[in-house]
């Protein structure tokens, strides 16, 4: 659901943020910083865990909205 969303990944060396889509991040382990060319290693486990939490929260929100809308129907 969020694969096309871009996030800025800060370089631990220079702080420059490089924009990457979540789909790109899922498919790649490393990239070079656009600011200083440092090689940045991505932590996929942390990303996937975070995305799972976001998906769960979004599903909970949709369910609550659906339940709320049902309560207003007569």
Give the model confidence (pLDDT) of 36-68 as tens digits.
999 999 887 877 788 788 888 888 898 998 888
Does a structural domain hold residue 18? yes
Q: Could you tell me if residue 10 is inside a domain?
A: yes
pLDDT at residue number 14: 97
Report d(CA 31, CA 60) in Å as an integer: 34
> CA dihedral defined by 24, 25, 26, 32, rounded to 10 degrees?
100
pLDDT of res. 71: 80
pTM of the model: 0.63
Q: What is the three-class DSSP state of 5?
A: coil
Bin 69: left if φ > 0, else alpha if -120 < ψ < 50, else beta. alpha
> Domain span at residue 38?
6-72
Is the confidence at residue 31, as pLDDT, over 80? yes
Q: Is residue 1 part of a domain?
A: no
For the chain, what is the domain count?
1
């Amino acid at each position: 659901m969020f694969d096309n969303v871009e996030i800025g990944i800060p370089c631990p060396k220079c702080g420059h943020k490089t924009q990457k889509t979540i789909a790109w991040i899922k498919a790649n382990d490393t990239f070079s910083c656009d600011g200083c060319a440092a090689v940045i290693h991505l932590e996929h486990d942390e990303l996937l865990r975070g995305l799972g939490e976001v998906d769960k929260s979004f599903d909970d929100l949709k369910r609550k909205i659906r339940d709320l809308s049902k309560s207003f129907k007569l």
